[in-house]
Structure 1
Amino acid sequence: MASRPNPHIDSRFKTTIWQLLDTEQYRSALFFAERYFCRDGDNHEARHLYSTALLKNGQTQSALHLVNLAEEEQCQECVEIYAKCCSTLGRFRAAREALERIVTDPTPVASSSSSIRPPIAIADESVFYCRAGVMAAKGNQPERAISNFEKALNLNPLLWEAFEGLCSLGSFPNIDEVFADRTLTKDGSKDDLTNSTTGVERKPSPLPMATGMGFFTPAATNDVNQIRNFDQQSQPFRLNPESSDSIQSGFGFSVENSMTTRIGSNFRGLGVSGPTIPNLGLIANSRTMSSVDEMGPAPKKHRTASLAPIKANGDKGKQTMNTGVTQKPPPRAGQPDANTTRRSTRLLSSGVGGKEQTRTVKHPPTRDRSRRPNARTRSRSHGSDNEDMLSPDTAHSPPTSSMHSPQSEGSPGPSTHAAQRAAEAMEWEAADKYIFHLLRSHAIAYQHMARYSCKEVIEAVENLTPDMQKSTSILSLVGRAYYEMVDYQKAEAAFKAARTIDPYRVWDMEIYSTLLWHLQKNVKLSFLGQELVSIDPQAPQAWIAIGNCFSLQKERSQALTCFRKASNLDPTCAYAYTLSGHESLEEDIDTAIGFFRTAIRADPRHYNAWYGLGTCYLRMSKLRQAEYHYRRASEIHPHNAVLKGCMAMAMERRGQREEAYQLYEEAVRLAPDNPLVRYRRAKILISMKRYDDALEDLLRLRDIAPEESNVVFQLAKVYRLMGSAVQSALQLATARDMSPKSLGKIKRLVETSQDEDGARDGEMDEG
């Protein structure tokens, strides 16, 4: 990954991530840390933050993989995080060796871009709302969860976990409003917050800071209207193993489907606190930023206690004359002089004539604040560093007020400072624009996935920059999208690419295991399950993968044991209950109904559980209940053709033939190559005596699934009804060869008359 250094964007990333880590918003911190690392993978600080966020999220092996570099490439912090990961995994010997190496190594490799760690952030109102939303979602209180997530996101749009929570609950906020371009203040709050000194009520800032002295520092607003554009070119999303820029697959991701799965199998298991850096993006300061902050500290000079205080505007050019002697106007009458000379018993050294002179000055211990220093005292105390550079004329020049002193050649003038401040403001606003553009572009993809708008997910990913497209979370998102589109080949390529980047990733691997189940890849599925258990035996995704492996081998009792283990590890894992229901469906429908209902209680938007309940009621001939549950599943996933086909099948059995046909038409439009919905439409066309249309569907189905005997049987039936006895006999012979067990049904079809055949609905078809 190419490094594109930009100190302002990097500061925004670092401060935001540290704030989220400090307030225990680990999911949000991981989102920004992964984006930061994808943007600049050669930056050690980005690597440290990403591995720390992974560690906090329980992905210890992935965090260890990031910092497990060659010894000559590791910096001290890499070794420290490595030791933490080893300690978490129980590898205490490796942790001890790493810590000893830190102590004994005389020349540790420095980080490539080290900076002072920002002040520790304090959890505020937005953080508590986000936590309350998480708890409400887990406690099956979706309305309270939505309310809390909305409040959290309104107070702090950087809380990515709140946005994800809303999408998972089916509440989709307006992305353009939530992540609109805005200027962040020093503490990360929005620019529309009003300062308390204006008399207008101020909203609480999202992430207040605690300084080293234990005080909370107020936020400083930064109102700038113009934002500089940044140059980020989007590239199409591709996975190409032959290219150096790609990882997997020799094809480009497109939105067309290529469904070759068997009919009826589409739905199974569907730090330390330090000083504040003035220009760190989100850090709160106790004062407004001055030009001194921007230009850095002034050159250090030896000075006594009689030095005049530096004015707040930081204009060094107005404090000294061109002679180097500090002058100031006499105090007004009745006004105490705050800069009274105090000569203590310290040793003063000066470089006059290249020799050091030591003067011992004795004074009473008490300080006379009413005493005024004379001009000679001021001259000697301020000019001790510069006496060797003064000419006789300049040394005795009359005192001049600093208000009228000319600018020295080495100090920038007021116009230069103004230009620097303006340029600095533009840089910060460009960083803010980059952050919110990043949030918007990723939020679009995630929201489309929550809506199951899978084609739009792929389009949104293609609009991301190439470095962001290759992040593991985005590749997993693409894999899920293709899986929901039943495009299993491309889904497998995306998941393989994600595991190439992070071979220890556990999240989303339950979907990958079900994908391998559909593809009937027993060896790969077995290897995946064993790998996941070795990575994290307490992860429910690992046991779901093992359960899928047993299910593929028709060992249902073992599969149910693994799914039960997954649900015990995570009682909110709806997918484990759903897979248990599918395994129980063939043997005990009542038990399967119980599993599906538990899954819906864990996640009301888990459409696969609604589909499972519909299938149970359809087998029990409870057609109204079946239609209701299929409809609920289709409302959650409106782009799924199989769900619409199942809903149409329930309506067809209830006698609503015309309504059912309209649903079949919609399903075929959504997935033209899906064999199940096209087969169902062909059957209803036969019952409606539209034989030409039915024949067209069946011929296309024969090309898609040539091994399916039901398709051949229906072809023989249509030819018989159309009066083509020769073609009908030929198709019946083919069906007999493909399925010898169907000989009795074929014989009954031959013995029936043409009218009776037209009134019956394919006995050979088993759904």
Structure 2
Amino acid sequence: MSVQEYNIQKLRGIVYNCLDNEQLDSAQLNVEILCAQNPANLDSIHLHGLVLYRRGLYKSAYNLTANKMHMGCAYVFALCALKLEHPQEGIYVLQKILDTIREEGISEESMESNLGKNENQRSVLPDIPSFYNLLGKLYASMDDDVNTVVCYSKALELNPFLFEAFEQLSKLGAKIKIGKVYKPTSTFSMNPPAGSELFESIAPDTSVELKQPEDSKPKGRSLFGRSNIMGTPEFSKNKVKNLTTPKVRELKLPEAPTRKTRSSVTSDAFKPPPANTSSSFPRRSNRLSASKVTSRLLMQPISGLGTPSTYDNDNTTHMDSIKTNKDSWLKRSYNFSNMPPAPNNNSDFRNFNEVTSENELIVLYGRIARAYKAFCQYDCFKAIRLFTSLPEHVVDMPWVLAKLGRLHFEIVNYEQSEFYFQKLRQIDRTRVEDMEYYSTLLWHLHKESELSYLSHELYQIDKYAPQTWVTIGNLFSLNRDNEEAVRCFQKATQLDQNFAYAYTLQGHEHVANDSFENAFESFRYALSIDKRHYNALYGLGMVHLKLGDFTKAEFHFRKAIDINPVNVILTCCVGMVLEKLGKRELSLKQYDFACKLQPLSMLALFKKAQVLLALQQYDLALKDFEKLQKLAPDEASVHFLLGELYKQLGRKSDAIKQLTIALNLDPKGSHVVKESLEGIQTIDTIDEEMNDH
């Protein structure tokens, strides 16, 4: 290795170390020195772009990595395009790289993947699942749901642990076959090749899916020879013919502070490498091909790692050699049927443990995925059951506690929702995420002191978080200061223009101010951000209900129910509209269904009893009112209607008792109660006169 090549290797190690430790200013200086010594090298340009991106200099990174046929450069360019709101340019570059891969006849599944690498095996270059995940984000920013689903699905197929792809698919309402994505493999052991053969073949994957005839292997020109998008060095054809995958013991790593994570090889690497000898997980491990170690070590265009020190312009790289090595182990035939049922040496024990460990993770991820899918589908009772059935240490994770808090909030089980949110706050006191829902819960519970304390604490933690301003807005709303509440919600939307929930709350405040046009605008904007945001549909329905447009109100309420079919409030809203339309029998069915969804829902019971009273089904109404009396002993309207019911049944003393309680609970409605009491006295007078005659 020449002095210049050694310096380049050392500088790269320094930059990696700076990036790992968030020493971005030092990384900037060192990467500029690196690029000054090697200005045309695409790996160095990618590293420079990565540093600029991490520093938030998106425009600079965007310009630097533009028009570079290199996977790393294209990825950084697309990241910057997303930040700068130029999604089409990012999509074009990423698709161009993927198209080039396909033109070369190389399957995406056979490309090196970062899946399965541990903390000592990280790769600087993005893998194919990351490409598709970023493409999904770019398409999502353009509201292209079809391509968004396609890209996220592909990313999840290639890397099932890329859970953000699963989250986005679930939020879009895509149908995901979780059993196929998170499918555990059967554990088996394998006798690895003995001696140096194991390292020469770089521990080939022995999964059944990769056991294929030689002729079935994709053909084509070398991707890396023509466009060099992986940033690998170029060799002459003569040298490549004699180039084999270097044995691990022959590698001489410089003593520069190179990042250990860039290679899975250490100085005592003659111990069997834990990842590369693995027979783990047939469905995914085939993406960690035989080229894994070589492609990573030969990625940099320097000659000190067992490669020739001179390069020709013949447009042929080490990929030919890798394909040759891959052929050699693909041609081997492992007799899986004759494999021993249990591990029989240290390597086998490690392989067995790796497969077992990965299976446990896959099963866990599958269970979490099922629960999250039910959560996104608002199948609240199922989601609660699935989340609470997870292992105890998983249930106590902040992420799971937040979901449980929201689920109980959705089914109007406010007491249990508060329990989970309080537990979440005990575990992570500085958490800002999901506090917008907790603050709305406190608003519903009329807990002003708790909401005030939460607002103050969140402001101290992060006054630039939109959730903070939603919480403060809910506090003003609880105090009936609607104008200040609107300003706070507007502040939240300024901090995050895609915060649909803040627009919805803003719309509700406009409704409280009878500013219906502004309310329409807020709710519609929320829906433009999130088409499945049922809260905004509910808001639109309420505005139409207030304006007396009952048909449109019913339409929006039913659309909200299509998204969230188990929400009791939405079901009751449909019943209220049907009542307004004079369809009491149909409204009764809605209230009855709401009571089945949640037997202790006071709203559903009250509306049902009210309709039964209007339909003169007094016995059925009496049962529901007596239940309500126990559930809501301080609700004046319950006692008033129960008094009216007793009056109809001729139970005058009970009627007077209930009406008196209603009068004491709500003095403002005294005139209505007094009229009802006077009605009882009038009835008594009429009865006395009739008896006299």
1:592-634 Cα shifts (integer Å, max 9, x gaps) = 1211111111111111111111111111111111111111111
Distance 2:616 2:599 in 1: 22
Q: Does 1:279 align with 2:274?
A: yes
1:462-486 Cα shifts (integer Å, max 9, x gaps) = 3322222221111112211222222
Matches of residues 184-263 of structure 1 in structure 2 within 5 Å? 192=209, 198-201=215-218
Query: Percent identity of the aligned residues?
Result: 33
Q: Which residue of 540, 550, 554 corresponds with 1:623?
A: 550
Report the counterpart of residue 690 of structure 1 in structure 2. 617
Distance 1:657 1:143 in 2: 42
Tell me if structure 2 keeps the 8 A contact 1:195–1:202: no
Distance 1:463 1:753 in 2: 56
Distance 1:280 1:211 in 2: 24
Once the two structures are TM-superposed, the CA of residue 559 in structure 1 deviates from its matched residue by: 1.2
Letter aligned with residue 435 of structure 1: L
Coordinate RMSD, CA, aligned: 4.1
Once the two structures are TM-superposed, the CA of residue 417 in structure 1 deviates from its matched residue by: 10
What count of residue pairs does the alignment treat as equivalent? 470
Letter aligned with residue 721 of structure 1: Q
Report the counterpart of residue 333 of structure 1 in structure 2. none
Q: Does 1:715 align with 2:642?
A: yes
1:530-551 Cα shifts (integer Å, max 9, x gaps) = 2222222221111111111221
Structure 1's consecutive aligned runs of 4 or more residues displaced over 6 angstroms after TM superposition are: 183-191, 209-215, 751-754
Report the 3-state secondary structure (helix = DSSP H, G, I; strand = E; otherwise coil) of the residue aligned with 2:565: coil
Q: Does 1:158 align with 2:161?
A: yes
Matches of residues 119-138 of structure 1 in structure 2 within 5 Å? 119-138=122-141
Report the 3-state secondary structure (helix = DSSP H, G, I; strand = E; otherwise coil) of the residue aligned with 2:420: helix
1:110-149 Cα shifts (integer Å, max 9, x gaps) = xxxxx97314153244323222322333443333322322
Letter aligned with residue 612 of structure 1: G
Report the counterpart of residue 519 of structure 2 in structure 1. 592
1:414-434 Cα shifts (integer Å, max 9, x gaps) = 9x9974454343222112212
Letter aligned with residue 428 of structure 1: E
Q: Which residue of 480, 485, 501 corresponds with 2:406?
A: 480
Report the counterpart of residue 141 of structure 1 in structure 2. 144
Letter aligned with residue 537 of structure 1: K
Report the counterpart of residue 669 of structure 2 in structure 1. 742
Report the counterpart of residue 480 of structure 2 in structure 1. 554
1:11-41 Cα shifts (integer Å, max 9, x gaps) = xxxxxxx9xx99xxxxxxxxxxxxxxxxxxx
Tell me if structure 1 keeps the 8 A contact 2:343–2:349: no
Report the 3-state secondary structure (helix = DSSP H, G, I; strand = E; otherwise coil) of the residue aligned with 1:562: helix
Q: Which residue of 643, 648, 657 corresponds with 2:570?
A: 643
Report the counterpart of residue 110 of structure 2 in structure 1. none
Report the counterpart of residue 171 of structure 2 in structure 1. 168
Report the 3-state secondary structure (helix = DSSP H, G, I; strand = E; otherwise coil) of the residue aligned with 2:538: helix
Report the 3-state secondary structure (helix = DSSP H, G, I; strand = E; otherwise coil) of the residue aligned with 1:173: coil
Report the counterpart of residue 491 of structure 1 in structure 2. 417
Q: Which residue of 559, 581, 603 corresponds with 1:632?
A: 559
Distance 2:466 2:203 in 1: 41
1:481-503 Cα shifts (integer Å, max 9, x gaps) = 22222222222222222222222
Once the two structures are TM-superposed, the CA of residue 589 in structure 1 deviates from its matched residue by: 1.9
Report the counterpart of residue 443 of structure 1 in structure 2. 369
| Cα distance, 1:196–1:431 mapped onto 2, change above 3 Å | farther
Tell me if structure 2 keeps the 8 A contact 1:183–1:191: no
Distance 1:181 1:586 in 2: 53
Tell me if structure 2 keeps the 8 A contact 1:120–1:211: no
Structure 2, unmatched stretches of 5+, are 1-15, 21-53, 57-117, 188-201, 221-228, 236-243, 246-258, 266-272, 277-284, 294-324, 326-339, 684-693
| Cα distance, 1:683–1:177 mapped onto 2, change above 3 Å | same
Tell me if structure 2 keeps the 8 A contact 1:125–1:152: yes
Once the two structures are TM-superposed, the CA of residue 198 in structure 1 deviates from its matched residue by: 4.8
Once the two structures are TM-superposed, the CA of residue 513 in structure 1 deviates from its matched residue by: 1.3
Report the counterpart of residue 668 of structure 1 in structure 2. 595
Deviates further, 516-525 or 539-548: 516-525
Letter aligned with residue 274 of structure 2: N
Report the 3-state secondary structure (helix = DSSP H, G, I; strand = E; otherwise coil) of the residue aligned with 2:578: helix
Distance 1:494 1:527 in 2: 18
Report the counterpart of residue 77 of structure 1 in structure 2. none
1:97-120 Cα shifts (integer Å, max 9, x gaps) = xxxxxxxxxxxxxxxxxx973141
Matches of residues 416-427 of structure 1 in structure 2 within 5 Å? 419-427=345-353
Distance 1:532 1:417 in 2: 54
1:429-472 Cα shifts (integer Å, max 9, x gaps) = 11221221121011122112112222222322233222222211
1:242-263 Cα shifts (integer Å, max 9, x gaps) = xxxxxxxxxxxxxxxxxxxxxx
| Cα distance, 1:578–1:191 mapped onto 2, change above 3 Å | farther
Distance 1:692 1:116 in 2: 69
Letter aligned with residue 181 of structure 2: V
Tell me if structure 2 keeps the 8 A contact 1:116–1:275: no
TM-score by length of 2: 0.61
Tell me if structure 2 keeps the 8 A contact 1:454–1:485: yes
Report the counterpart of residue 529 of structure 1 in structure 2. 455
Deviates further, 743-752 or 508-517: 743-752
Tell me if structure 2 keeps the 8 A contact 1:614–1:626: yes
Report the 3-state secondary structure (helix = DSSP H, G, I; strand = E; otherwise coil) of the residue aligned with 1:510: helix
| Cα distance, 1:161–1:517 mapped onto 2, change above 3 Å | same
Report the counterpart of residue 294 of structure 1 in structure 2. none
Letter aligned with residue 605 of structure 2: R
Higher-Rg structure is 1
Q: Which residue of 492, 496, 512 corresponds with 2:438?
A: 512
